[in-house]
Amino acid sequence: MRKVKDISCEEAIRHLLEYLDSECEVHTHEEIDQHLSACQACYSRMEFEKRLRSQLRNSGEQAVPDSLKNRIDKLFSGGLKN
């Protein structure tokens, strides 16, 4: 089994946001996983970024105005036109 390389805090932080995006190389993801399990400071940072990301995601849910809902309903009741 391949040994996962130990990385520094700097290296973990450099890839942290891509790690949260699940856009790292597999080996980088494993290295950050291992680092986070041993480093409380980086783990706290990761939790902060994760929570901030989650709040950003929640901000995307906008109440749709009735005027737009009605327009969309009308479009669908009109059917397909080609």
Partner 1 sequence: MSSKPRPPETRDDLRTFCETEIGAILDRLYGTALRLTRNQADAEDLVADTVVKALGNISRLQDRSCFHGWVFRILYNTFKSNCRRKSARPEDCISSLTGDATEADDTFWLFDKLHQPFLLWWGNYEQEFLDQLEIEDLCKAVDALPDNYRIVITLSDIEGFSYQEIADTLEIPVGTVRSRLARGRSMLQKSLWDYAQTVGLAPGHAKPQGDDLCVK
Q: Which residues bind partner 1 (CB under 8 A)?
A: 13, 17-18, 21, 23, 41, 44-45, 48-49, 51-53, 55-65, 67-69, 71-72, 75-76, 79-82
Closest to partner 1 by CB, 4 vs 18, is 18
- 74 vs 77: CA distance, rounded Å: 5
Quote the CA–CA distance of 56 and 61 in Å, as a whole number. 10
**What sign does the CA torsion over 27, 29, 35, 38 have?**
negative
**The total number of residues written for the chain in this structure:** 82
Which lies closer to partner 1 via its Cβ, residue 5 or residue 72?
72
Least separation in angstroms between residue 39's CB and partner 1 is 13
Q: In the bound complex, what is the minimum distance in angstroms from residue 5's beta carbon to partner 1? A: 22
